[in-house]
Structure 1
Amino acid sequence: MSVLIVGGDYVTSFKHHISTQNYARVEHWNGRKKGFNKRQIPNETQLVIVICDFVNHSLANSVKEKANRDGIPLMFCHRSVNELKDKLNTHQTDEDCCCRSFCEAKSQFQKLH
């Protein structure tokens, strides 16, 4: 499973936490250049995390629109790894999860590895 992190300059702690949650690949866009608005979300992406403190409104809206169009779950969080942990745990245990397909794919991935 692949996760895309949008925003932030130093996301090592985010990457470390995500990799401990059995995600295969983490890609990071820092969002500093104008061209990031035109980038396409990679096909294998199963979750998009936007770090709100470090992106401008146009990039956040662009990523949100692309993720919704492709049916990819989207999380907005601040620069806190603890907030990310809470949101990931909530999505894993929530019965009415807006990203049920993501949660199911993650559980299948965990069974395989």
Structure 2
Amino acid sequence: MTVLLLGADRLGNICDKLQLEGTEKIIHWSGRCSSCKHRCLPKNIGKIIIFCDFINHPTMENVKKQAKKNNIPIVYCKRSLANLSVLTAN
């Protein structure tokens, strides 16, 4: 599965955790740049993880709208491995 990580400047060991859980490809958008609010989602995204502490609102709204249109699940969390582990366990 391909996962889009949205938000956060640095991911630390979050990518390692996702790969251990079977994620094949990870795409990261910082979510702070003004051009992010106009980006189209890449094809074949299986899940979107939004780090709410590190993203601007126009970008989040753009991604939410596209995800809903394409039936892509979104997980909202803080940028912490413990929080992510609990939320992505499903």
**Normalising by the residue count of structure 1, what TM-score does the alignment of the two structures yield?**
0.76
Ranked by relative contact order (alpha carbons within 8 Å, sequence separation 6 or more), the top structure is: 2
Segments of 5+ residues of structure 2 without an aligned counterpart are none
Structure with higher Rg: it is 1
When the two structures are aligned, how many residues end up with a matched partner?
Answer: 90
Could you list the runs of 4 or more consecutive aligned residues of structure 1 that deviate by over 3 angstroms after TM superposition?
none
Aligned to 1:54: 54
Aligned to 1:77: 77
**Normalising by the residue count of structure 2, what TM-score does the alignment of the two structures yield?**
0.94
Segments of 5+ residues of structure 1 without an aligned counterpart are 92-113
Alignment of 1:7-18 (within 5 A): 7-18=7-18
Alignment of 1:18-97 (within 5 A): 18-89=18-89, 91=90
1:30 and 1:88 map into 2 onto residues whose CA distance is 20
Q: CA RMSD in A?
A: 0.9
1:88 and 1:79 map into 2 onto residues whose CA distance is 13
Amino acid across the alignment from 1:74: I
More strand by share: 2
CA offsets, 1:40-60, max 9 Å, x none? 111111000000000011111
Deviation at 1:12, TM superposition (A): 2.9
Amino acid across the alignment from 1:48: I
